[in-house]
Amino acid sequence: MIDLHAAVADLRTWQEALYQDLHRHPELSLQEHATAERIETELRELGLTTERIGGTGVVAVIENGDGPTVLERADIDGLPVTEASGLPYASEEPGRMHACGHDVHISTLLGAVRVLTAHRDAWHGTFIALFQPAEETAQGARAMVADGLVDRIPRPDVALAQHVMPGAAGRIGTLAGPLLCQGDSLRVTIHGRGAHGSMPHSAQDPVVVASAIVLRLQTIVARELRPGTFGVVTVGALNAGTKSNIIPATAELLLNVRTYDPAVREHVLAAIRRIVDGECAAAGIETPADIELYDAFPLTSNDPEVTATVTGALTAALGEESMEEAEPTTGSEDFSCIPDAFGTPYTSWVLGGFDPEAYDRAVERGTVAQDIPANHALNYTPVMQPTLSAGTTALVAAALAYMGS
Amino acid sequence: MIDLHAAVADLRTWQEALYQDLHRHPELSLQEHATAERIETELRELGLTTERIGGTGVVAVIENGDGPTVLERADIDGLPVTEASGLPYASEEPGRMHACGHDVHISTLLGAVRVLTAHRDAWHGTFIALFQPAEETAQGARAMVADGLVDRIPRPDVALAQHVMPGAAGRIGTLAGPLLCQGDSLRVTIHGRGAHGSMPHSAQDPVVVASAIVLRLQTIVARELRPGTFGVVTVGALNAGTKSNIIPATAELLLNVRTYDPAVREHVLAAIRRIVDGECAAAGIETPADIELYDAFPLTSNDPEVTATVTGALTAALGEESMEEAEPTTGSEDFSCIPDAFGTPYTSWVLGGFDPEAYDRAVERGTVAQDIPANHALNYTPVMQPTLSAGTTALVAAALAYMGS
Amino acid sequence: MIDLHAAVADLRTWQEALYQDLHRHPELSLQEHATAERIETELRELGLTTERIGGTGVVAVIENGDGPTVLERADIDGLPVTEASGLPYASEEPGRMHACGHDVHISTLLGAVRVLTAHRDAWHGTFIALFQPAEETAQGARAMVADGLVDRIPRPDVALAQHVMPGAAGRIGTLAGPLLCQGDSLRVTIHGRGAHGSMPHSAQDPVVVASAIVLRLQTIVARELRPGTFGVVTVGALNAGTKSNIIPATAELLLNVRTYDPAVREHVLAAIRRIVDGECAAAGIETPADIELYDAFPLTSNDPEVTATVTGALTAALGEESMEEAEPTTGSEDFSCIPDAFGTPYTSWVLGGFDPEAYDRAVERGTVAQDIPANHALNYTPVMQPTLSAGTTALVAAALAYMGS
Amino acid sequence: MIDLHAAVADLRTWQEALYQDLHRHPELSLQEHATAERIETELRELGLTTERIGGTGVVAVIENGDGPTVLERADIDGLPVTEASGLPYASEEPGRMHACGHDVHISTLLGAVRVLTAHRDAWHGTFIALFQPAEETAQGARAMVADGLVDRIPRPDVALAQHVMPGAAGRIGTLAGPLLCQGDSLRVTIHGRGAHGSMPHSAQDPVVVASAIVLRLQTIVARELRPGTFGVVTVGALNAGTKSNIIPATAELLLNVRTYDPAVREHVLAAIRRIVDGECAAAGIETPADIELYDAFPLTSNDPEVTATVTGALTAALGEESMEEAEPTTGSEDFSCIPDAFGTPYTSWVLGGFDPEAYDRAVERGTVAQDIPANHALNYTPVMQPTLSAGTTALVAAALAYMGS
């Protein structure tokens, strides 16, 4: 048996330095070159072999005799945000920031690898540490799968992940079933006919058509879904024209759809097509609108059995007082693409990363974005402790729940 | 008496070379530096004194004894268009083109000055040749007025202008009363509240509000104006947001309003304010929307008496077969700011500039923009003759209608 | 030659009594039984033969030697309005009123017949007095044509009509060309799917679809017609549902379309179909909406030559000071169906019927409907004189312009 | 102990005759005169004293020594529906039907009173049988409270009710927490300005404003409520105008709002006011729209402890196989007004009333309304058995759970 508390405490100096260094040098999705090299260096220092999968994805497979295969995944990309945290280790890259805590994910998974490699006698089986690029754009997990992931590493029996969130530092939330929703992004391009602004009769005005579409889209959630069903149809962008006196030929809408139920998702996507087509037809536009699904986050639905096992292990390791039931959120991520590619059950849990009191004070000072302090904000900077130690402990404990001797 | 036919014919070589040179080197509004210098050079070669008014505006006052004062105006700016005419003298400036025929206006007014200065015995009075910048942006006439025009030149008894249009080359159209409408451009900025795309309940979605505004604006022309009243409310641009999953905080609409009747204009502008405010209120947005009137073309309403006098003179000079009654158009320009500053009556006429047969063939070949071949198109290139000779003759004949002995 | 002034003055006692009697007993469209009998009685008293055409239509053909054939038409129906004029001869029929002055039309045409039959030596030709039912519902003229009008009376060389309007009593307005617009009424029925009000997901909500249609219809006049084109698309009625908690299965819209140009009318009707279909499609409704054209008033476009002839004759008879140029109105009527059936040129003029001063005082007292005192109001009661005498004089003078010796 | 099975079986002949008689003679809300008298007669035959509260409400208080006070409530009104069931005991009143099963509620509660009065030795305490009028219009419970209910009967320790629903006959569904939502009905009257259909510029068109409101209301559920929140805003009726060529002065909308969370309800009602006001303002309408809340059903949220106790008792009495967990529905009722007036905990359960096989065959034959066979349909006729026996057993067993010795 590992003395988890001691093993994790020993990592502290190394882990905090690593975390600060990662935080200073965030890289954007699919461009995580230095980050991937740093991860490789850290893994090789432990004598491990690494493999690049999906460009900037890094995987280390640690075999340790017969036993279950456990995969743990960390995502590694930053965001196009300019940090405004005032921290001594704030991002040194203007316009880039680890504003979603992926640096915590890297640091804790590398910490877990350190603990596991240092205590090979305490477990049996195969541990896979998977560092995934481009979670923010929903491209990274699919890129790894497309690059042959399933054939290049052993099939895991279980897949695990954690995500740092705006909760009390060190607190863990688990939930069986749907935790994160599906998120689809669509680009709708209306092909009208332009004309001089004073000649509307010569145009098929795409601004009017786009506006009619926006209003009509509201009826999907308001009238077509059963009351109380989770669903969101957001038009995040509507762009048409550049001058007041020129009626443009086209209008572009960027839509975001959020659902938990695949049947609801299908209904919503079909309704969008139907409404766009109907509104174009009402305007006499014969060229079909283009509707491109350019971004799709999968549903994250935690396996009940895996969740129960992991919850038990984490409770034992961190104490009852550190555990809570997570709530389904309106967010999305792409982790589940990886276990789904293998047909492997999975669970993903939530790791609180904020000093509740400091956080409340920040809210009072108005330094957090709006009234929803959230991931992606300019000052989304978890406190290092106990976030890093709790996250590392959780990863080790969850892995040992399957592989522990 | 001048033999106008001979006098204009003598200009041909000089005038065509001048025209081609101007056409090769268009300059954008308020940046007509080389053009203004070229005009000054041409005027000084005739022994005239020139004055800069309104930056790149050029005026020459030619005194020739007692008699009426006649002002003729040419606008001089080009457009941000890349020429696609295939002409040997096509624009050499990428992204700039004389696509509205202002080079014809300069060449014919300089031609008229040549004829008048060469025949000082045929007229008495004061002739003012005024070359105005920035017509395309409705800034130039006002810039000249703001720069002291009224105090720096004699008050004209009558003001005249012509504009080359897509008609048969050499044909002139005159019209008493309103010829060109008022054109106002407004920038409407909606101040909502942004949020993550999955959290509409935290936002005041400006995309929805802007769309409701666009649909509701349709009721101004459809329901608020007396049926048959001329009025246009175009939303030429609607821009909000950049990503599907971020609800933006603001939306910007660029509106173009066209009217002939000032009371209708007032009603429409008030209705826009009312609708924008009402739709923001419906969304619970308390920050008032910004509505900025950033561009305003005045009404061009030809004085009946001046129009009758000029029509008579032009008919005598060019023949009955060259004359027609113009139709009020949906377009606008800023010439009338100048006579209005003096309280002077004016008329503006239309000069056809196209070989009707060649033009028809072009339409068949599909090389003209859409089905509305019009000013501002990539191939809006009048034929040189008889456009230049007819335009020069018209300017001289109209001036002599007042100053001729 | 007839002394028109004396001849008309002689009618006064009879004509005012006739008018008051008609005014007391209005009858609704297609139910003008007593009115038709009264007209027949009056005509027979003059020794004339009458014919019933189109049910309650009455025609008398008065042959008087060789010469042109002139048709004059009066419409005879009242409206479903309860009179609130306070006149001693107000309607005695609750819910019925001559609120559009058809009693003036009958009285003046019968007066004209009296004058013409009394002075047969003053004219040569054939005079046709035609009393038409059901003008208000656009049914009467067509009913007479359908009942064989063209084969049952001589073909007129010219057809004439007048309509009393809210102008100064005794003043006549004439206009060559379009005077009254086309008016079409359409019934649009949306076939959605009803459900309990708490179950929108089980419904195809026709209330939402109808609302989207109403807003989208605004774009026809605002964006599809050339600016300044006369066109009206009114949704006069929208009715759907009876209880808050039941989503109805259908919605009904009653549309009124007004146009002067047949091509514009065709465009508008096609656009309505297109918009209704598009909006139903956007809602996923597969049952096509019913669109029924249930009422159609034709264009009234006065023949220029006939109008000139009539204007001259009326000016001679009534004096320059009684004449003015009429303005095209937004109203409609069905007179032109009759000359159109024969291919006969026609003109229709406007007869002022109100004491301007009394009228102004009424407006001040607020006893006229809203700010648009107009035909169909509860107190639309022309003053008897000089309305009746001027209207009679006009009918005789116009007929004599063709048949006078 | 009572042998419930035998006691209920003994009632069968009397109970089925009573039920058929009630079913034949339904009465509308607040007009349940004969029904109330029949209930009084039945109760008095058992030697009980009755009291009229709230007009047609009937209450009998049965004291039986010390012990808890239990209130059971049945609603008694029918619906304005013409029955189309084909049953021998179908409604004999055209336009009225017990289409929501209140006749089952009366019959089973009278049955329970019979059992309890026949077995006074088996229980101790006070039993209150409350027969409430006008549930369908949400008026009856409030009418009883307004008529002094709280002061006129003993305060119950627990209040119970059941409702027959489209489930398998004899099956009972219970649920702790919210079972039925709040339902509010609002009448919105828009005060525009009418005009002739050809004169939109003289009107403030309420049809356009009402349509804009309907579309904008969609944003409340779609954008203002947190995704997944239960909320419905239905416009069940929109009525404006009667003729195509008259723009009406007013439009009336009937809205239905359904919510489970009082804060959500407050938000929705405020948003409706905001949207109506904003859309009227956009049209320049200064007269405020009338918004009348004319009907309000309260939330039905079952007390967890009472529900657990009752579920246990019903399971013991009817068997595990007869019990299921009910689902929250989109419907509403007014029962909770009564316990809320006393501050008493309550539970309401669902009683299945249909032969599943016969029901399925009816659906196949297409004789049930649409695809949502539901309360209020023309053939909503529960089978008598085992509906009546199970409902009676349930009421007795639930009462004895508190008062049983």
Amino acid identity of A129? A
pLDDT at D92 over 80: yes
Q: Do D215 and C218 touch (CB under 8 A)?
A: no
pLDDT at A131 over 90: yes
Residue D60 — very low, low, confident or very high, per pLDDT cuts 50/70/90?
A: very high
Q: Residue D377: what pLDDT? A: 64
Considering only alpha carbons, which residue of chain B is nearest residue C330?
B227
Residue of A159, A144, A154, A39 whose CA lies nearest to A102: A39
User: What is the rounded distance in angstroms from the CA atom of residue A34 to the CA atom of residue A53?
Assistant: 15
Q: Residue A165: what pLDDT? A: 86
Q: Residue A84: what pLDDT? A: 83
The single-letter DSSP state of residue C243 is S
User: What is the rounded distance in angstroms from the CA atom of residue D180 to the CA atom of residue D191?
Assistant: 35
pLDDT at C367 over 50: no
pLDDT at C359 over 80: no
Question: What is the three-class DSSP state of D160?
Answer: strand
Q: Residue D81: what pLDDT? A: 82
Which ranges constitute the DSSP H helices of D220-355? 262-282, 304-318, 337-342
Residues 6+ apart with CB under 8 A from D357: none
Q: Residue A311: what pLDDT? A: 98
Residue C196 — very low, low, confident or very high, per pLDDT cuts 50/70/90?
A: confident
**Annotated binding site for Mn(2+): which residue ranges of C?**
100, 102, 136, 163
Q: Residue D324: what pLDDT? A: 93
Could you tell me if A388 and A15 are in contact, meaning their C-beta atoms sit under 8 angstroms apart? yes
Choose, out of A215, A224, A276, the residue to mutate when testing the contact with C (most C CBs < 10 Å).
A224
Q: Residue A374: what pLDDT? A: 60
Q: Residue B78: what pLDDT? A: 94
Average pLDDT of C135-155?
Answer: 96
- Residues of chain D positioned with their CB less than 8 A from the CB of B283: 219, 278
Examine residue B206 and say whether the peptide bond preceding it is cis (omega within 30 degrees of 0). Answer: no
Residue of B387, B398, B316, B303 whose CA lies nearest to B71: B398
Q: Residue A369: what pLDDT? A: 37
Q: Residue A362: what pLDDT? A: 52
Considering only alpha carbons, which residue of chain C is nearest residue A275?
C282
Please name each of the domains of chain B with its CATH number.
4-179+299-403 (3.40.630.10), 182-297 (3.30.70.360)
User: What is the rounded distance in angstroms from the CA atom of residue B251 to the CA atom of residue D71?
Assistant: 58
Q: Name the residue facing C278 among A198, A201, A281 (closest C-beta).
A: A281
Residue A377 — very low, low, confident or very high, per pLDDT cuts 50/70/90?
A: low
Residue of A215, C239, A235 whose CA lies nearest to D252: C239
Residues 6+ apart with CB under 8 A from C209: C190, C192, C251, C279, C280, C282, C283, C285
Which residues are paired to A290 by β-bridges?
A189
Q: Do B282 and D283 touch (CB under 8 A)?
A: no
Q: Residue D358: what pLDDT? A: 63
Q: Residue A327: what pLDDT? A: 85
pLDDT at C226 over 70: yes
Q: What is the pTM of this model?
A: 0.85
A275 in reach of chain C (CB within 8 A): yes
- Residues of chain B positioned with their CB less than 8 A from the CB of A195: 370, 372
Q: Residue C28: what pLDDT? A: 96
Better pLDDT: D47 or D378? D47
- Residues of chain C positioned with their CB less than 8 A from the CB of B220: 222
Which residues are paired to B246 by β-bridges?
B196
Residue bearing tokens 């849990």: A349
Q: Residue B361: what pLDDT? A: 59
pLDDT at A54 over 80: yes
User: What is the rounded distance in angstroms from the CA atom of residue B176 to the CA atom of residue B161?
Assistant: 14
Tokens representing C194 are 């009803």
Tokens representing B330 are 């949906």
pLDDT at C354 over 90: no
Could you tell me if B159 and B342 are in contact, meaning their C-beta atoms sit under 8 angstroms apart? yes
Indicate the burial class of C56 (C-beta count within 10 angstroms; 0-12, 13-18, 19 or more): buried
pLDDT at D370 over 70: no
* Percentage of chain C lying above the pLDDT 90 cut: 81
Residue of C155, C159, C108, C135 whose CA lies nearest to C347: C159
Better pLDDT: C172 or A202? C172
Residues 6+ apart with CB under 8 A from B23: B87, B89, B90, B91, B98, B103, B381
pLDDT at C373 over 50: no
Find the radius of gyration of the CA atoms of chain B. 24
Q: Rounded mean pLDDT of chain D? A: 92
Q: What is the pLDDT of residues C281-332, one digit of tens each?
A: 999 999 999 999 998 899 999 999 999 999 999 999 999 999 999 988 878 8
pLDDT at A370 over 80: no
* Percentage of chain D lying above the pLDDT 90 cut: 81
Residue D257 — very low, low, confident or very high, per pLDDT cuts 50/70/90?
A: very high
pLDDT at A119 over 90: yes
Q: Residue C371: what pLDDT? A: 36
User: What is the rounded distance in angstroms from the CA atom of residue B307 to the CA atom of residue B303?
Assistant: 6
Average pLDDT of C196-207?
Answer: 90
Question: What is the three-class DSSP state of D152?
Answer: helix
Could you tell me if B297 and B334 are in contact, meaning their C-beta atoms sit under 8 angstroms apart? yes
Sign of torsion, CA C109 C110 C114 C116? Answer: positive
Distances (CA, A) of C133 to B62, C337, C384, D129: 74, 13, 22, 69
Residue D367 — very low, low, confident or very high, per pLDDT cuts 50/70/90?
A: very low
User: What is the rounded distance in angstroms from the CA atom of residue A321 to the CA atom of residue D194?
Assistant: 68
Q: What is the pLDDT of residues C85-103, one digit of tens each?
A: 889 999 999 989 998 999 9
Q: Rounded mean pLDDT of chain A? A: 92
Q: From the CA of D344, how many Å to the nearest CA of chain C?
A: 28
- Residues of chain D positioned with their CB less than 8 A from the CB of C208: 214-215, 218, 235
Interfacial D residues in 129-148 facing A (CB < 8 Å): none
Q: Do A278 and C278 touch (CB under 8 A)?
A: yes
3-state secondary structure B304-358: HHHHHHHHHHHHHHHCHHHEEECCCCCCCCCCCHHHHHHCCCEEEEEEEEECHHH
Kindly list the averaged pLDDT for each block of 10 residues, start to end, along chain B of length 405: 92 98 97 98 97 98 97 96 88 92 97 97 97 94 97 98 90 95 96 88 94 98 95 96 89 96 95 98 97 93 97 96 89 94 97 75 47 58 93 98 92
- Residues of chain D positioned with their CB less than 8 A from the CB of C299: none
Q: Residue B371: what pLDDT? A: 35
pLDDT at A373 over 50: no
Could you tell me if D140 and D132 are in contact, meaning their C-beta atoms sit under 8 angstroms apart? yes
A5-14, A285-294, B377-386, C41-50: least confidently modelled range: B377-386
Q: What is the pLDDT of residues D284-320, one digit of tens each?
A: 999 999 999 998 899 999 999 999 999 999 999 999 9
pLDDT at C257 over 50: yes
Q: Residue C86: what pLDDT? A: 87
pLDDT at A219 over 80: yes
Could you tell me if C293 and C198 are in contact, meaning their C-beta atoms sit under 8 angstroms apart? no
Q: What is the pLDDT of residues C6-45, one digit of tens each?
A: 999 999 999 999 999 999 999 999 999 999 999 999 999 9
* Number of inter-chain CB pairs under 8 A, B vs C: 46
CA C52 to chain centre: 21
D236 in reach of chain C (CB within 8 A): yes
The single-letter DSSP state of residue C221 is I
- Residues of chain B positioned with their CB less than 8 A from the CB of C258: 227
Q: B307: phi > 0 → left, psi -120 to 50 → alpha, else beta; which? A: alpha
pLDDT at D403 over 50: yes
Q: Do A219 and D218 touch (CB under 8 A)?
A: yes
Which residues are paired to B250 by β-bridges?
B191
Could you tell me if B368 and B379 are in contact, meaning their C-beta atoms sit under 8 angstroms apart? yes
Q: Name the residue facing B208 among D205, D219, D281 (closest C-beta).
A: D219
Q: From the CA of A215, how many Å to the nearest CA of chain D?
A: 7
Q: Residue D372: what pLDDT? A: 33
User: Within 13 Å and on the Cβ side, how many CA atoms surround B121?
Assistant: 3
